[in-house]
Structure 1
Amino acid sequence: MECRVLSIQSHVVRGYVGNKSATFPLQVLGFEVDSINSVQFSNHTGYSRDTSFLEMVVDIIQELKKANPSLVYVCDPVMGDQGAMYVPENLLPIYRDKVVPVADILTPNQFEAELLTGRKINTEDDAFKVMDLLHKMGPETVVLTSTDLPSKHGDQFLVALGSQKIVKPDGTSTSQKICMDIPKVDAVFVGTGDLFAALLLAWTHHHPKDLKAACEKTVSVMHHVIKRTITYANEMAGPGKRPSPAQLELRMVQSKADIENPAIVIEAKVLESSH
Protein backbone atom coordinates (compact mmCIF):
# COMPACT_ATOMS: atom_id res chain seq x y z
CA MET A 1 0.00 0.00 0.00
CA GLU A 2 1.35 3.41 -0.85
CA CYS A 3 2.16 5.52 2.18
CA ARG A 4 0.73 8.99 2.53
CA VAL A 5 1.74 11.66 5.00
CA LEU A 6 -0.40 14.63 6.03
CA SER A 7 2.04 17.33 7.13
CA ILE A 8 0.57 20.21 9.14
CA GLN A 9 3.28 22.86 9.57
CA SER A 10 4.18 26.39 8.60
CA HIS A 11 5.27 27.17 5.05
CA VAL A 12 8.01 29.44 3.78
CA VAL A 13 8.46 30.63 0.22
CA ARG A 14 12.25 30.58 0.44
CA GLY A 15 14.50 28.24 2.37
CA TYR A 16 13.72 25.23 4.55
CA VAL A 17 11.53 25.20 7.63
CA GLY A 18 8.19 23.60 8.49
CA ASN A 19 6.58 21.85 5.52
CA LYS A 20 9.43 22.86 3.21
CA SER A 21 11.87 21.07 5.51
CA ALA A 22 9.74 17.92 5.79
CA THR A 23 8.24 17.39 2.32
CA PHE A 24 11.29 16.81 0.11
CA PRO A 25 13.01 14.21 2.35
CA LEU A 26 9.73 12.32 2.81
CA GLN A 27 9.14 12.28 -0.95
CA VAL A 28 12.71 11.11 -1.55
CA LEU A 29 12.06 8.24 0.89
CA GLY A 30 8.98 7.15 -1.03
CA PHE A 31 6.09 8.86 0.79
CA GLU A 32 3.27 10.81 -0.83
CA VAL A 33 3.00 14.08 1.12
CA ASP A 34 -0.14 16.21 1.48
CA SER A 35 0.56 19.55 3.15
CA ILE A 36 -1.58 21.86 5.21
CA ASN A 37 0.27 25.13 5.65
CA SER A 38 -0.68 26.49 9.06
CA VAL A 39 0.82 29.88 8.17
CA GLN A 40 2.71 31.18 5.16
CA PHE A 41 5.75 33.39 5.51
CA SER A 42 8.27 34.75 3.07
CA ASN A 43 10.99 33.30 5.31
CA HIS A 44 11.25 31.59 8.68
CA THR A 45 10.19 33.26 11.93
CA GLY A 46 9.02 32.45 15.43
CA TYR A 47 5.45 33.71 15.47
CA SER A 48 3.20 32.42 18.23
CA ARG A 49 0.32 30.05 17.47
CA ASP A 50 -3.07 30.11 19.09
CA THR A 51 -4.92 27.43 21.00
CA SER A 52 -7.73 26.99 18.47
CA PHE A 53 -5.25 25.91 15.79
CA LEU A 54 -3.81 23.19 18.04
CA GLU A 55 -7.30 22.00 18.98
CA MET A 56 -8.20 21.82 15.30
CA VAL A 57 -5.12 19.65 14.65
CA VAL A 58 -6.25 17.28 17.44
CA ASP A 59 -9.72 17.05 15.84
CA ILE A 60 -8.16 16.22 12.45
CA ILE A 61 -5.95 13.50 13.99
CA GLN A 62 -8.88 11.94 15.85
CA GLU A 63 -11.02 11.90 12.70
CA LEU A 64 -8.20 10.36 10.66
CA LYS A 65 -7.50 7.72 13.33
CA LYS A 66 -11.17 6.72 13.28
CA ALA A 67 -10.93 6.19 9.53
CA ASN A 68 -7.49 4.54 9.74
CA PRO A 69 -6.59 3.06 13.13
CA SER A 70 -3.03 2.31 11.99
CA LEU A 71 -2.33 6.01 11.27
CA VAL A 72 0.90 7.26 12.86
CA TYR A 73 0.96 10.81 14.22
CA VAL A 74 4.34 12.42 14.83
CA CYS A 75 4.27 15.47 17.11
CA ASP A 76 7.13 17.87 17.69
CA PRO A 77 5.78 19.85 20.67
CA VAL A 78 7.50 23.15 19.84
CA MET A 79 7.23 25.26 22.98
CA GLY A 80 10.66 26.47 23.97
CA ASP A 81 14.30 25.68 24.63
CA GLN A 82 17.08 26.42 27.11
CA GLY A 83 14.60 27.05 29.91
CA ALA A 84 12.49 29.66 28.09
CA MET A 85 9.10 29.32 26.43
CA TYR A 86 8.69 30.95 23.05
CA VAL A 87 4.99 30.27 22.68
CA PRO A 88 2.17 31.59 24.87
CA GLU A 89 1.91 29.63 28.14
CA ASN A 90 -1.74 28.76 27.49
CA LEU A 91 -0.60 26.32 24.79
CA LEU A 92 1.09 24.05 27.35
CA PRO A 93 -2.09 22.45 28.81
CA ILE A 94 -3.41 21.84 25.29
CA TYR A 95 -0.21 20.09 24.23
CA ARG A 96 -0.14 18.11 27.49
CA ASP A 97 -3.82 17.14 27.76
CA LYS A 98 -4.94 16.94 24.13
CA VAL A 99 -2.08 16.74 21.63
CA VAL A 100 0.35 14.34 23.34
CA PRO A 101 -2.37 11.72 24.07
CA VAL A 102 -3.10 11.32 20.33
CA ALA A 103 0.59 11.27 19.29
CA ASP A 104 2.36 8.01 18.40
CA ILE A 105 5.83 9.55 18.11
CA LEU A 106 6.91 12.54 20.19
CA THR A 107 10.12 14.55 19.60
CA PRO A 108 10.53 17.10 22.41
CA ASN A 109 13.78 18.66 23.54
CA GLN A 110 14.67 18.36 27.23
CA PHE A 111 12.89 21.57 28.25
CA GLU A 112 9.69 20.60 26.40
CA ALA A 113 9.72 17.12 28.00
CA GLU A 114 10.11 18.77 31.43
CA LEU A 115 7.21 21.15 30.71
CA LEU A 116 4.92 18.32 29.58
CA THR A 117 5.59 16.14 32.63
CA GLY A 118 6.34 18.76 35.30
CA ARG A 119 9.54 16.83 36.12
CA LYS A 120 13.14 18.10 35.96
CA ILE A 121 15.88 16.16 34.16
CA ASN A 122 19.30 16.19 35.84
CA THR A 123 20.49 12.65 35.09
CA GLU A 124 20.01 10.00 32.41
CA ASP A 125 17.81 8.12 34.87
CA ASP A 126 15.59 11.22 35.26
CA ALA A 127 15.35 11.43 31.47
CA PHE A 128 14.09 7.86 31.13
CA LYS A 129 11.60 8.39 33.98
CA VAL A 130 10.29 11.45 32.11
CA MET A 131 10.08 9.43 28.88
CA ASP A 132 8.16 6.68 30.74
CA LEU A 133 5.70 9.33 31.94
CA LEU A 134 5.33 10.54 28.35
CA HIS A 135 4.68 6.93 27.22
CA LYS A 136 1.89 6.72 29.82
CA MET A 137 0.36 9.88 28.31
CA GLY A 138 0.10 8.22 24.88
CA PRO A 139 3.11 8.09 22.53
CA GLU A 140 4.79 4.71 21.99
CA THR A 141 8.00 6.33 20.76
CA VAL A 142 9.67 9.30 22.47
CA VAL A 143 12.94 10.86 21.35
CA LEU A 144 14.55 13.63 23.39
CA THR A 145 16.21 15.40 20.48
CA SER A 146 18.63 17.33 22.69
CA THR A 147 19.47 17.33 26.39
CA ASP A 148 21.85 19.18 28.71
CA LEU A 149 23.22 15.87 30.00
CA PRO A 150 27.02 15.50 29.85
CA SER A 151 28.38 13.36 27.03
CA LYS A 152 30.98 10.69 27.77
CA HIS A 153 32.85 12.02 24.73
CA GLY A 154 33.23 15.56 26.10
CA ASP A 155 31.43 18.87 25.70
CA GLN A 156 31.70 18.89 21.89
CA PHE A 157 28.84 16.38 21.87
CA LEU A 158 25.14 16.62 22.53
CA VAL A 159 23.25 13.74 24.15
CA ALA A 160 19.97 12.58 22.58
CA LEU A 161 17.88 9.78 24.09
CA GLY A 162 15.11 7.59 22.75
CA SER A 163 12.58 5.16 24.16
CA GLN A 164 10.20 2.88 22.28
CA LYS A 165 7.47 0.97 24.04
CA ILE A 166 6.82 -2.39 22.46
CA VAL A 167 3.58 -4.17 23.39
CA LYS A 168 3.91 -7.96 23.19
CA PRO A 169 1.12 -10.26 21.95
CA ASP A 170 0.33 -11.26 25.56
CA GLY A 171 -0.39 -7.61 26.44
CA THR A 172 2.76 -6.98 28.49
CA SER A 173 5.17 -4.32 27.27
CA THR A 174 8.91 -3.78 27.17
CA SER A 175 10.80 -0.71 26.05
CA GLN A 176 13.92 -0.27 24.00
CA LYS A 177 16.04 2.63 25.24
CA ILE A 178 18.84 4.20 23.24
CA CYS A 179 21.42 6.92 23.69
CA MET A 180 23.27 8.92 21.03
CA ASP A 181 26.19 11.32 21.21
CA ILE A 182 25.81 13.88 18.43
CA PRO A 183 28.66 16.23 17.42
CA LYS A 184 27.80 19.89 18.11
CA VAL A 185 28.04 22.41 15.29
CA ASP A 186 28.91 26.06 15.91
CA ALA A 187 26.11 27.63 13.87
CA VAL A 188 22.39 28.30 14.15
CA PHE A 189 20.24 26.41 11.68
CA VAL A 190 16.52 26.73 11.14
CA GLY A 191 14.31 23.83 10.08
CA THR A 192 16.46 21.07 11.58
CA GLY A 193 13.76 20.06 14.09
CA ASP A 194 11.20 19.76 11.29
CA LEU A 195 13.64 17.70 9.22
CA PHE A 196 14.36 15.46 12.24
CA ALA A 197 10.66 14.73 12.83
CA ALA A 198 10.07 13.96 9.14
CA LEU A 199 13.07 11.63 8.92
CA LEU A 200 12.12 9.87 12.15
CA LEU A 201 8.63 9.25 10.76
CA ALA A 202 10.13 7.78 7.57
CA TRP A 203 12.76 5.62 9.24
CA THR A 204 10.49 4.29 12.00
CA HIS A 205 8.12 3.26 9.21
CA HIS A 206 10.96 1.35 7.52
CA HIS A 207 12.23 -0.04 10.86
CA PRO A 208 9.05 -0.28 12.96
CA LYS A 209 10.49 -2.29 15.86
CA ASP A 210 14.07 -1.03 15.72
CA LEU A 211 14.44 2.41 17.27
CA LYS A 212 18.25 2.08 17.13
CA ALA A 213 18.30 1.75 13.32
CA ALA A 214 15.63 4.45 12.82
CA CYS A 215 17.49 6.96 15.02
CA GLU A 216 20.91 6.16 13.53
CA LYS A 217 19.62 6.81 10.01
CA THR A 218 17.73 9.95 11.08
CA VAL A 219 20.69 11.48 12.92
CA SER A 220 23.18 10.44 10.23
CA VAL A 221 21.10 12.17 7.52
CA MET A 222 20.95 15.27 9.75
CA HIS A 223 24.74 15.15 10.16
CA HIS A 224 25.32 14.93 6.37
CA VAL A 225 22.86 17.77 5.62
CA ILE A 226 24.34 20.03 8.30
CA LYS A 227 27.92 19.29 7.29
CA ARG A 228 27.16 20.07 3.65
CA THR A 229 25.34 23.26 4.72
CA ILE A 230 28.14 24.55 6.97
CA THR A 231 30.82 23.78 4.35
CA TYR A 232 28.87 25.70 1.71
CA ALA A 233 28.04 28.58 4.08
CA ASN A 234 31.67 29.01 5.11
CA GLU A 235 32.76 29.04 1.44
CA MET A 236 30.15 31.66 0.63
CA ALA A 237 30.96 33.83 3.66
CA GLY A 238 34.70 33.81 2.97
CA PRO A 239 37.63 33.40 5.38
CA GLY A 240 37.09 34.67 8.94
CA LYS A 241 33.47 35.76 8.37
CA ARG A 242 30.42 34.24 10.04
CA PRO A 243 27.86 32.96 7.53
CA SER A 244 24.55 34.82 7.24
CA PRO A 245 21.17 33.13 7.90
CA ALA A 246 20.59 33.00 4.12
CA GLN A 247 23.88 31.17 3.60
CA LEU A 248 22.92 28.73 6.37
CA GLU A 249 19.66 27.60 4.74
CA LEU A 250 19.78 23.78 4.71
CA ARG A 251 21.34 22.24 1.58
CA MET A 252 18.41 19.91 1.21
CA VAL A 253 18.23 19.20 -2.52
CA GLN A 254 22.01 18.75 -2.66
CA SER A 255 21.71 16.07 0.06
CA LYS A 256 19.25 13.87 -1.83
CA ALA A 257 21.62 10.88 -2.03
CA ASP A 258 22.38 11.07 1.71
CA ILE A 259 18.66 11.26 2.55
CA GLU A 260 17.96 8.16 0.46
CA ASN A 261 20.87 6.08 1.70
CA PRO A 262 22.77 7.66 4.60
CA ALA A 263 26.21 6.44 5.57
CA ILE A 264 25.83 5.72 9.30
CA VAL A 265 28.21 8.15 11.00
CA ILE A 266 26.51 8.32 14.40
CA GLU A 267 25.71 5.12 16.24
CA ALA A 268 23.05 4.65 18.88
CA LYS A 269 23.88 2.68 22.01
CA VAL A 270 21.14 0.36 23.25
CA LEU A 271 20.69 0.62 26.99
CA GLU A 272 19.00 -1.97 29.15
CA SER A 273 15.46 -2.83 28.06
CA SER A 274 13.06 -2.38 30.93
CA HIS A 275 9.68 -3.94 31.67
Structure 2
Amino acid sequence: MRILSIQSSVAYGHVGNSAAVFPLQRLGHEVWPVVTVHFSNHTGYGAWRGPLLAPDDVREVIAGIADRGVLGTADAVLSGYQGDPAMGAVILDAVAQVKALNPAARYCCDPVIGDVGRGVFVRPGIPEFLRDEVVPHADIVTPNHFELDFLTGRTTTSPEEVLAAVDELRDRGPRDVLVTSVRYPRVADGSATDEEELDVVAVSDEGAWAVTTPLLPIGPNGGGDLTAALYLAHLLETGSPQTAVERTTNAVFAVLQATLDAGTRELALVAAQDAIAGPSARFVARRLR
Protein backbone atom coordinates (compact mmCIF):
# COMPACT_ATOMS: atom_id res chain seq x y z
CA MET A 1 0.00 0.00 0.00
CA ARG A 2 1.18 3.55 -0.77
CA ILE A 3 0.34 6.35 1.63
CA LEU A 4 0.89 10.09 1.13
CA SER A 5 1.36 11.41 4.67
CA ILE A 6 1.23 15.19 5.07
CA GLN A 7 2.18 16.11 8.63
CA SER A 8 4.72 17.76 10.88
CA SER A 9 8.17 16.30 11.48
CA VAL A 10 10.58 16.47 14.39
CA ALA A 11 14.24 15.46 14.58
CA TYR A 12 14.03 14.33 18.21
CA GLY A 13 11.03 12.35 19.38
CA HIS A 14 7.95 10.99 17.69
CA VAL A 15 5.02 13.15 16.61
CA GLY A 16 3.40 13.73 13.23
CA ASN A 17 5.27 11.99 10.44
CA SER A 18 7.98 11.12 12.95
CA ALA A 19 5.37 8.96 14.70
CA ALA A 20 3.58 7.66 11.61
CA VAL A 21 6.17 6.83 8.96
CA PHE A 22 8.25 4.18 10.72
CA PRO A 23 5.25 2.18 12.04
CA LEU A 24 3.66 2.21 8.57
CA GLN A 25 6.91 1.07 7.01
CA ARG A 26 7.27 -1.61 9.70
CA LEU A 27 3.88 -2.92 8.55
CA GLY A 28 5.27 -3.15 5.03
CA HIS A 29 3.73 -0.06 3.44
CA GLU A 30 5.35 2.57 1.24
CA VAL A 31 5.06 6.05 2.74
CA TRP A 32 5.64 9.37 1.00
CA PRO A 33 6.18 11.82 3.88
CA VAL A 34 5.51 15.46 3.12
CA VAL A 35 6.40 17.66 6.08
CA THR A 36 4.61 20.82 7.10
CA VAL A 37 7.17 21.78 9.77
CA HIS A 38 10.62 20.48 10.61
CA PHE A 39 11.26 21.17 14.27
CA SER A 40 14.03 20.02 16.58
CA ASN A 41 11.42 18.52 18.93
CA HIS A 42 7.68 18.67 19.57
CA THR A 43 6.22 21.80 21.11
CA GLY A 44 5.29 20.03 24.34
CA TYR A 45 8.77 20.89 25.60
CA GLY A 46 7.88 24.57 25.47
CA ALA A 47 10.88 25.45 23.29
CA TRP A 48 11.95 24.24 19.89
CA ARG A 49 13.85 25.28 16.80
CA GLY A 50 13.32 24.85 13.09
CA PRO A 51 11.13 26.08 10.26
CA LEU A 52 7.41 26.14 9.72
CA LEU A 53 7.06 25.50 6.01
CA ALA A 54 5.01 27.89 3.91
CA PRO A 55 1.88 26.36 2.35
CA ASP A 56 3.21 27.15 -1.13
CA ASP A 57 6.39 25.19 -0.37
CA VAL A 58 4.37 22.17 0.69
CA ARG A 59 2.26 22.53 -2.44
CA GLU A 60 5.46 22.48 -4.51
CA VAL A 61 6.62 19.24 -2.91
CA ILE A 62 3.29 17.59 -3.73
CA ALA A 63 3.50 18.97 -7.28
CA GLY A 64 6.92 17.38 -7.58
CA ILE A 65 5.47 14.00 -6.64
CA ALA A 66 2.80 14.53 -9.28
CA ASP A 67 5.54 15.30 -11.80
CA ARG A 68 6.88 11.78 -11.28
CA GLY A 69 3.53 10.44 -12.46
CA VAL A 70 2.93 8.45 -9.28
CA LEU A 71 0.36 10.51 -7.40
CA GLY A 72 -2.46 8.41 -8.81
CA THR A 73 -0.91 5.24 -7.41
CA ALA A 74 -1.46 6.41 -3.83
CA ASP A 75 -3.96 4.28 -1.95
CA ALA A 76 -4.50 6.83 0.80
CA VAL A 77 -3.74 10.32 2.06
CA LEU A 78 -3.09 10.82 5.77
CA SER A 79 -3.05 14.19 7.53
CA GLY A 80 -2.67 15.32 11.12
CA TYR A 81 -1.92 18.69 12.69
CA GLN A 82 -2.55 21.32 10.03
CA GLY A 83 -1.20 24.44 11.68
CA ASP A 84 -3.04 26.95 9.53
CA PRO A 85 -6.18 27.01 7.36
CA ALA A 86 -3.96 27.75 4.36
CA MET A 87 -2.08 24.48 5.01
CA GLY A 88 -5.40 22.70 5.31
CA ALA A 89 -6.37 23.99 1.88
CA VAL A 90 -3.13 22.55 0.45
CA ILE A 91 -3.94 19.16 1.99
CA LEU A 92 -7.48 19.19 0.62
CA ASP A 93 -6.13 20.07 -2.82
CA ALA A 94 -3.72 17.11 -2.61
CA VAL A 95 -6.60 14.83 -1.64
CA ALA A 96 -8.61 16.07 -4.63
CA GLN A 97 -5.67 15.43 -6.98
CA VAL A 98 -5.13 11.90 -5.69
CA LYS A 99 -8.83 11.03 -5.87
CA ALA A 100 -9.16 12.45 -9.38
CA LEU A 101 -6.45 10.02 -10.47
CA ASN A 102 -7.51 7.15 -8.20
CA PRO A 103 -11.17 7.33 -7.09
CA ALA A 104 -10.62 4.34 -4.79
CA ALA A 105 -8.08 6.24 -2.67
CA ARG A 106 -9.12 7.07 0.90
CA TYR A 107 -8.46 10.21 2.92
CA CYS A 108 -7.82 9.78 6.65
CA CYS A 109 -7.88 12.96 8.72
CA ASP A 110 -6.75 13.11 12.32
CA PRO A 111 -8.54 16.34 13.30
CA VAL A 112 -6.05 17.69 15.82
CA ILE A 113 -7.83 20.32 17.91
CA GLY A 114 -7.26 19.70 21.60
CA ASP A 115 -7.73 17.29 24.46
CA VAL A 116 -9.48 16.81 27.78
CA GLY A 117 -7.72 18.84 30.46
CA ARG A 118 -5.91 21.02 27.91
CA GLY A 119 -8.81 22.33 25.89
CA VAL A 120 -8.17 23.69 22.39
CA PHE A 121 -4.44 24.03 21.75
CA VAL A 122 -4.32 24.91 18.05
CA ARG A 123 -4.41 28.35 16.46
CA PRO A 124 -7.74 30.22 16.23
CA GLY A 125 -9.70 29.28 13.14
CA ILE A 126 -8.24 25.77 12.86
CA PRO A 127 -11.00 23.96 14.80
CA GLU A 128 -13.74 25.56 12.73
CA PHE A 129 -11.85 24.91 9.49
CA LEU A 130 -11.48 21.24 10.37
CA ARG A 131 -15.13 20.98 11.32
CA ASP A 132 -16.59 22.84 8.37
CA GLU A 133 -14.14 22.20 5.52
CA VAL A 134 -11.98 19.16 6.20
CA VAL A 135 -14.20 16.60 7.92
CA PRO A 136 -16.82 16.60 5.13
CA HIS A 137 -14.08 15.63 2.64
CA ALA A 138 -12.60 12.83 4.76
CA ASP A 139 -13.38 9.14 4.39
CA ILE A 140 -11.89 8.30 7.78
CA VAL A 141 -11.59 10.57 10.82
CA THR A 142 -9.87 9.77 14.09
CA PRO A 143 -10.85 12.35 16.74
CA ASN A 144 -10.21 11.90 20.41
CA HIS A 145 -13.14 12.23 22.83
CA PHE A 146 -12.66 15.98 23.26
CA GLU A 147 -12.45 16.53 19.51
CA LEU A 148 -15.57 14.46 18.86
CA ASP A 149 -17.50 16.68 21.25
CA PHE A 150 -16.15 19.84 19.61
CA LEU A 151 -16.88 18.68 16.08
CA THR A 152 -20.49 17.83 16.97
CA GLY A 153 -21.20 20.50 19.58
CA ARG A 154 -22.11 17.85 22.13
CA THR A 155 -21.03 16.70 25.58
CA THR A 156 -20.90 12.92 25.55
CA THR A 157 -20.77 10.97 28.81
CA SER A 158 -22.05 7.52 27.86
CA PRO A 159 -21.56 4.95 25.09
CA GLU A 160 -24.98 5.83 23.70
CA GLU A 161 -24.12 9.53 23.53
CA VAL A 162 -20.76 8.82 21.88
CA LEU A 163 -22.46 6.72 19.21
CA ALA A 164 -25.06 9.43 18.60
CA ALA A 165 -22.29 12.01 18.15
CA VAL A 166 -20.40 9.69 15.80
CA ASP A 167 -23.55 9.17 13.74
CA GLU A 168 -23.90 12.93 13.39
CA LEU A 169 -20.28 13.18 12.29
CA ARG A 170 -20.74 10.38 9.77
CA ASP A 171 -23.78 12.12 8.32
CA ARG A 172 -21.42 14.91 7.21
CA GLY A 173 -19.29 12.64 5.02
CA PRO A 174 -16.77 10.31 6.68
CA ARG A 175 -18.03 6.73 6.77
CA ASP A 176 -15.37 5.43 9.16
CA VAL A 177 -14.81 7.08 12.53
CA LEU A 178 -12.37 6.06 15.23
CA VAL A 179 -12.78 7.83 18.58
CA THR A 180 -9.80 7.57 20.89
CA SER A 181 -9.28 8.26 24.61
CA VAL A 182 -12.97 7.87 25.44
CA ARG A 183 -13.50 8.26 29.17
CA TYR A 184 -16.80 7.94 30.99
CA PRO A 185 -17.74 9.17 34.47
CA ARG A 186 -17.68 6.75 37.39
CA VAL A 187 -20.51 4.23 37.20
CA ALA A 188 -22.93 3.85 40.09
CA ASP A 189 -21.46 0.62 41.47
CA GLY A 190 -17.91 1.95 41.29
CA SER A 191 -16.77 -0.93 39.08
CA ALA A 192 -15.05 1.37 36.60
CA THR A 193 -13.92 4.97 36.54
CA ASP A 194 -12.67 7.36 33.96
CA GLU A 195 -9.37 7.22 35.86
CA GLU A 196 -8.94 3.48 35.33
CA GLU A 197 -9.96 2.72 31.75
CA LEU A 198 -10.07 4.11 28.23
CA ASP A 199 -12.29 3.08 25.35
CA VAL A 200 -11.44 3.25 21.68
CA VAL A 201 -14.59 3.22 19.53
CA ALA A 202 -14.76 2.32 15.83
CA VAL A 203 -17.89 2.97 13.79
CA SER A 204 -18.60 2.20 10.14
CA ASP A 205 -21.44 1.13 7.88
CA GLU A 206 -20.87 -2.42 9.19
CA GLY A 207 -21.47 -1.57 12.85
CA ALA A 208 -19.76 -0.22 15.96
CA TRP A 209 -17.11 -1.73 18.23
CA ALA A 210 -15.24 -0.71 21.36
CA VAL A 211 -11.97 -1.86 22.88
CA THR A 212 -11.27 -1.10 26.55
CA THR A 213 -7.75 -0.87 27.96
CA PRO A 214 -6.29 0.16 31.30
CA LEU A 215 -5.32 3.81 31.52
CA LEU A 216 -1.57 3.96 31.90
CA PRO A 217 -0.07 6.79 34.01
CA ILE A 218 1.65 8.49 31.08
CA GLY A 219 0.62 10.89 28.34
CA PRO A 220 3.39 11.13 25.76
CA ASN A 221 2.95 13.28 22.68
CA GLY A 222 2.34 11.53 19.37
CA GLY A 223 -0.01 8.78 20.51
CA GLY A 224 -2.84 10.10 18.38
CA ASP A 225 -0.59 10.39 15.32
CA LEU A 226 0.49 6.77 15.78
CA THR A 227 -3.10 5.62 16.27
CA ALA A 228 -4.41 7.33 13.12
CA ALA A 229 -1.63 5.86 10.98
CA LEU A 230 -2.10 2.31 12.29
CA TYR A 231 -5.89 2.42 12.01
CA LEU A 232 -5.72 3.64 8.42
CA ALA A 233 -3.29 0.89 7.49
CA HIS A 234 -5.17 -1.93 9.20
CA LEU A 235 -8.56 -0.76 7.95
CA LEU A 236 -7.43 -0.56 4.33
CA GLU A 237 -5.55 -3.84 4.55
CA THR A 238 -8.30 -5.91 6.21
CA GLY A 239 -11.50 -4.05 5.30
CA SER A 240 -12.69 -4.82 8.83
CA PRO A 241 -13.17 -2.01 11.38
CA GLN A 242 -13.32 -4.62 14.14
CA THR A 243 -9.98 -6.14 13.21
CA ALA A 244 -8.46 -2.71 12.60
CA VAL A 245 -9.45 -1.33 16.00
CA GLU A 246 -8.21 -4.47 17.76
CA ARG A 247 -4.83 -4.45 16.04
CA THR A 248 -4.43 -0.71 16.46
CA THR A 249 -5.36 -0.65 20.13
CA ASN A 250 -3.13 -3.60 21.02
CA ALA A 251 -0.16 -2.10 19.17
CA VAL A 252 -0.58 1.37 20.68
CA PHE A 253 -0.97 -0.05 24.18
CA ALA A 254 2.22 -2.07 23.71
CA VAL A 255 4.08 1.08 22.64
CA LEU A 256 2.75 3.01 25.65
CA GLN A 257 3.66 0.16 28.00
CA ALA A 258 7.18 0.05 26.56
CA THR A 259 7.42 3.81 26.96
CA LEU A 260 6.32 3.58 30.59
CA ASP A 261 8.73 0.73 31.29
CA ALA A 262 11.61 2.69 29.76
CA GLY A 263 10.77 5.80 31.76
CA THR A 264 11.06 8.00 28.69
CA ARG A 265 9.03 10.97 27.55
CA GLU A 266 9.09 9.96 23.89
CA LEU A 267 7.18 7.03 22.41
CA ALA A 268 9.26 3.83 22.42
CA LEU A 269 8.52 3.07 18.78
CA VAL A 270 11.80 1.33 18.04
CA ALA A 271 11.75 -0.78 21.20
CA ALA A 272 8.14 -1.84 20.55
CA GLN A 273 8.44 -2.31 16.80
CA ASP A 274 7.74 -6.06 16.93
CA ALA A 275 4.45 -5.36 18.70
CA ILE A 276 3.61 -2.86 15.98
CA ALA A 277 4.35 -5.36 13.22
CA GLY A 278 2.56 -8.22 14.98
CA PRO A 279 0.17 -6.88 17.62
CA SER A 280 -1.11 -9.29 20.25
CA ALA A 281 -4.76 -10.14 20.83
CA ARG A 282 -4.75 -9.11 24.48
CA PHE A 283 -7.61 -6.64 24.05
CA VAL A 284 -10.65 -7.80 22.08
CA ALA A 285 -13.34 -5.60 20.54
CA ARG A 286 -16.91 -5.94 21.73
CA ARG A 287 -19.76 -5.10 19.41
CA LEU A 288 -21.86 -2.08 20.42
CA ARG A 289 -24.42 -2.49 17.66
Question: Which category describes the TM-score, using the shorter chain as reference length?
Answer: 0.7 to 0.9
Q: Deviations over 1:84-117 (max 9, x none)?
A: 1111331222111211111111110122112112
Q: Which residue number in structure 1 is paired with residue 258 of structure 2?
A: 228
- Matching residue's letter, 1:269: R
Local SS of the residue matching 1:227: helix
Residue 151 of structure 1 and its aligned partner are, at CA, apart by 7.4
Find out whether 1:253 has 2:282 as its counterpart.
Answer: no
- Distance in 2 between the 1:114 and 1:89 partners? 17
Q: Does the 8 Å contact 2:8/2:35 carry over to 1?
A: yes
Q: Does the 8 Å contact 1:7/1:19 carry over to 2?
A: yes
Find out whether 1:158 has 2:198 as its counterpart.
Answer: yes
Q: Does the 8 Å contact 2:202/2:208 carry over to 1?
A: yes
- The percentage of aligned residue pairs carrying the same residue is 36
Q: Does the 8 Å contact 1:131/1:142 carry over to 2?
A: yes
Local SS of the residue matching 2:198: strand
- Matching residue's letter, 1:271: L
Local SS of the residue matching 2:200: strand
Question: Residues 130-169 of structure 1: matches in 2 within 5 Å?
Answer: 130-150=165-185, 154-155=192-193, 156-165=196-205
Find out whether 1:213 has 2:249 as its counterpart.
Answer: no
- Distance in 1 between the 2:97 and 2:232 partners? 20
- Distance in 1 between the 2:269 and 2:155 partners? 35
Of residues 48-57 and 134-143 in structure 1, the stretch that sits farther from structure 2 once superposed is: 48-57
Unaligned runs of 5+ in 1: 166-174, 234-246
- Matching residue's letter, 2:92: V
TM-aligned CA distance change 1:54 to 1:116, over 3 Å: same
Find out whether 1:269 has 2:286 as its counterpart.
Answer: yes
Q: Does the 8 Å contact 2:200/2:249 carry over to 1?
A: no
Q: Does the 8 Å contact 1:221/1:262 carry over to 2?
A: yes
TM-score, length-normalised on structure 2? 0.81
- Distance in 2 between the 1:69 and 1:150 partners? 42
- Matching residue's letter, 2:40: S
Q: Deviations over 1:150-169 (max 9, x none)?
A: 4776221112222112xxxx
Find out whether 1:27 has 2:25 as its counterpart.
Answer: yes
Question: Residues 1-275 of structure 1: matches in 2 within 5 Å?
Answer: 3-45=1-43, 49-82=83-116, 84-150=119-185, 154-155=192-193, 156-165=196-205, 175-208=206-239, 210-233=240-263, 247-272=264-289
Residue 123 of structure 1 and its aligned partner are, at CA, apart by 2.0
- Distance in 2 between the 1:66 and 1:101 partners? 17
- Distance in 2 between the 1:70 and 1:182 partners? 33
- Distance in 2 between the 1:265 and 1:94 partners? 38
- Distance in 1 between the 2:260 and 2:236 partners? 29
CA RMSD of aligned residues (A): 1.7
- Distance in 2 between the 1:59 and 1:133 partners? 25
Q: Does the 8 Å contact 1:62/1:102 carry over to 2?
A: no
- Matching residue's letter, 1:184: L
Q: Which residue number in structure 1 is paired with residue 68 of structure 2?
A: none
Q: Does the 8 Å contact 2:183/2:197 carry over to 1?
A: no
Instruction: Give the total of aligned pairs.
Output: 247
Q: Does the 8 Å contact 1:151/1:157 carry over to 2?
A: no
- Distance in 2 between the 1:123 and 1:4 partners? 37
TM-score, length-normalised on structure 1? 0.85
- Distance in 2 between the 1:266 and 1:82 partners? 24
